[in-house]
Chain A
Amino acid sequence: MKICGTGTVCAHGRGMAALESVLTSGAVPPSQIAVPFRDVPFPVYAVAPEILKDRTVLGEMRRADRFSKMATLAAYDAMAESGATLENPERVGIIFATAFGPHNTTFSFLDDILNYGDAGVSPTIFSNSVHNAAVSYISHTLKIKGPTWTITSFHDPFQQALLLAQVWLDEGRCDQVLVGAGDECGMVLNYVCSQKLAIAETAAQMRPFFNTAGPAVIPGELSVFFLLSRDTSGGVQIILRQKDLPAPDLLIVDFESRQLDLRSAQIPTGCWSHLIGATPVSTAFSCAVAGLMLQRQKVYCAGNLLNGYGGINSDFLSVRLQRIECNGKIGLYKLEEAV
């Protein structure tokens, strides 16, 4: 599957220029927010509210929640970066992967029940609380009329979305598929994270590979979309089944020591979680980073160089990049010719 366009909405900003900028500068600090469940500020890689104020794209989405706005902006940018014109909107599909969906809107609906009773709830909030509201907004904004799906899973939701997109393209159901992933942070989920994960107490940022006493996590939120097509003639390709293909030049892991295997000792390994925090859809961001590196033929600094697992070092920066593997299962390849 060829990556025709990519859109990103993350804590560091919106779009590929913002991504390249932060990859070059090498770090972004999380927001430190006041929370009612602990005395010290809580770190979160949150998308800034001003990023979601694009009236051109979101003009007809005044009632939409921020989860849908993040997704719509990323999808819009992926389509725009591709330069594709929608000549046949019935042949374009959407697959959006999320672990938690628009949970803040669900809690707003529960607030309505608690404040006004079951008979006093807002129908608008209810409509926006369903998981597929974001995709509905995307299809409406971009006038896409093919199959438009939302899928959910707590483990590798983006990979499942890619797998489905590949099947749709292979069986001719679509000519192009907008594939994306997104999740948002929120106060209740922050609380759940604080109870279930080792949340960094004082760290200024996530420090992948750095912690010897175990991973310290900072929750993050993002939305990333790719416009994919069946064109295998060149460009950056995503290939899911790669049994017989050569070893990658670089491994990218989502966060901390997840997915590190024996190969990591031999193959340079990078992690960019210090730019986005930890989210169940980090793999989509890793793929965006990989795609950009393959395009630019450049390895961006992974933040922490010494990790004991063969992390990226300065010698590697001169290696010609052709193959990058994300999350142990997704291969991105820069093609001179079809693989």
Chain B
Amino acid sequence: MNSGPILITGMGVISAAGTGLEASLRSMAAGERNVGPLTLFESPVKLPVFEVRGLPPRQTPGRMRTMDLLEPALNEALAAAHLSSSSGLRIGVALGTTVACQLNDLDFYSTWREKHSAPLASVDGYLNGNLAEAVAARLGAGGPALVVVNACSSGTDAISAAMSWLKAGLCDLAIAGGADELNRIPLAGFKALGVASDEPCAPFDADRKGLNLGEGAGVLVLETAAGAARRGVQSPLRVCGYGSSSDAYHLTAPHPEGEGLIRAVNAALQQAGIQPSDIAFVNAHGTSTPDNDKVEGRVLQKIFGQGIKVLSTKGYTGHTLGAAGGIEAVFTAAGLSNGWIPGSAGFQTLDAEIGFCPTLGNTKISGHYALSTSLAFGGNNTALVIGLEEPA
């Protein structure tokens, strides 16, 4: 086992907050919320969404939009890590998603239902659209490759898989994160579940009404310190700890006392070898649903106390499902690295049941560790500790 640190040597991100990390940070610093009506496809479900605007026209017919979203984030991360497509390294690929793992093309299915025959272009797009297999093929990877489909914690879990592979010596370098597209299925599904809001989301706010869906991708390049040194690459950012647990409680609702989330956070802190007081801020799952924010808010307060700085970047991106963990890991790392985090967009009124206010505006950060949490359908709870190397 490799006991050294796992460095983040490249990051890339795309969401409604912007294309690329710098553009996203500028947008969030200015408090911009690019939420609006759905334009990507027709739907009678009229809910505000966080769409990614201005993606280049699709080059490959039938290709899933998720792949189109993943590509710019991947390219940004590879460039930041000074990696070419033919590095000769044994690369592992772990990516999370929800939509891209389903054969859910409504046009294909409705045609098949009517005629018992249908063109297979969208099926081909699906079969060629396994994110990890596609990225591995592009990079000539050679390490392990898998897509994590743990619903909304998929991106965070994928990062942990890459971290574990590197520690076990199964690859020289790993691509990790998540990607997901806005799609008719989850839009209708979340509406039916009664957890989608018809107003812009307001994480941790007393009057929050639910989530807004978003889309995007967040990608990290991870490598061991020794591996990075061999490539002549340095980075002060690292992935330090991960915890995961199951509530074993309910298919869609979190455990009311957040018992599983507490275990996940404690496991992540333990692996990182730090105390709660070492955490500078928490980038919370913060979906803006009544249940999630109440449970998560109480747990964070219980573990970290009243003074902890908390934000949810979903106020800028919407809930990007399988991409959320990847996107939020990128924003968490950027917050540590840059020494500031944006205000938790959408918050106005303290919820007495939660008992704390998230960040109200751009907030200065000093510290060497931050936490990103994810909760998911199925009772999954995950926590990821990201670190910033202390100056020698």
A residues within 8 Å of B by Cβ?
36-37, 89-90, 94, 100-101, 103, 106-107, 109-111, 113-114, 117-119, 121-123, 126-133, 135-137, 139-140, 142-155, 157, 160, 163-164, 166-168, 170-171, 173, 188-189, 191-192, 195-196
CA distance A144 to B263 in the complex (A): 13
CA distance A89 to B104 in the complex (A): 35
CA distance A100 to B126 in the complex (A): 10
- Which stretch, B28-36, B111-119, B232-240, B283-291, touches the partner chain A? B111-119
Q: Is the CB of A154 within 8 A of B188?
A: no
Q: Is the CB of A121 within 8 A of B127?
A: no
Q: Is the CB of A118 within 8 A of B184?
A: yes
B275 close to chain A: CB less than 8 A: no
Residues of chain B within 8 A (CB-CB) of A133 are 251, 377-378
Q: Is the CB of B248 within 8 A of A118?
A: no
Known: A132-B149, A136-B377, A152-B149. A118 touches B167 (CB 8 A): no
CB distance from B112 to the nearest CB of A (A): 6
CA distance A123 to B192 in the complex (A): 5
Residues of chain A within 8 A (CB-CB) of B246 are 94, 136, 139, 144-148
CA distance A118 to B249 in the complex (A): 29
Residues of chain B within 8 A (CB-CB) of A123 are 189, 192-194
CA distance A163 to B249 in the complex (A): 28
B80 close to chain A: CB less than 8 A: no
Q: Is the CB of A171 within 8 A of B192?
A: no
Residues of chain B within 8 A (CB-CB) of A154 are 127, 130, 133
CB distance from B40 to the nearest CB of A (A): 14
B25 close to chain A: CB less than 8 A: no
Would you list which residues of chain B between 190 and 210 have a CB under 8 Å from chain A?
A: 190-194
CA distance A163 to B144 in the complex (A): 8
Q: Is the CB of A164 within 8 A of B164?
A: yes
Residue of B nearest to A68 (CB): B251
Q: Is the CB of B251 within 8 A of A149?
A: no
CB distance from B146 to the nearest CB of A (A): 4
CB distance from A187 to the nearest CB of B (A): 9
8 Å CB contact of A145 from B116, B170, B245, B377: B245
- Which stretch, B62-70, B95-103, B353-361, touches the partner chain A? B95-103
Give the interface centre of B104, B167, B249, B376 by most chain A CB atoms within 10 Å.
Answer: B104
Residues of chain A within 8 A (CB-CB) of B132 are 153
Apart from A110-B185, A126-B190, list 6 A-B contacts with CB within 8 A. Answer: A118-B191, A133-B377, A148-B150, A152-B130, A153-B147, A171-B167
Residues of chain B within 8 A (CB-CB) of A114 are 106, 109-110, 113
Q: Is the CB of B101 within 8 A of A101?
A: yes
Known: A140-B379, A149-B148. A188 touches B189 (CB 8 A): no
B252 close to chain A: CB less than 8 A: yes
Known: A133-B378, A148-B246. A170 touches B45 (CB 8 A): no
Interface residues as binary, B35-75 with A (CB distance below 8 Å gives 1, 0 otherwise): 00000000111000000000000000000000000000000
B79 close to chain A: CB less than 8 A: no
Residue of B nearest to A135 (CB): B378
CB distance from B152 to the nearest CB of A (A): 10
CB distance from B352 to the nearest CB of A (A): 29
B247 close to chain A: CB less than 8 A: yes
CA distance A136 to B378 in the complex (A): 5
Q: Is the CB of B102 within 8 A of A36?
A: no
Residues of chain B within 8 A (CB-CB) of A167 are 164-165, 167-168, 170
Give the interface centre of A109, A113, A128 by most chain B CB atoms within 10 Å.
Answer: A113
Q: Is the CB of A118 within 8 A of B187?
A: yes
Q: Is the CB of A127 within 8 A of B193?
A: yes
8 Å CB contact of B101 from A131, A136, A140, A147: A131
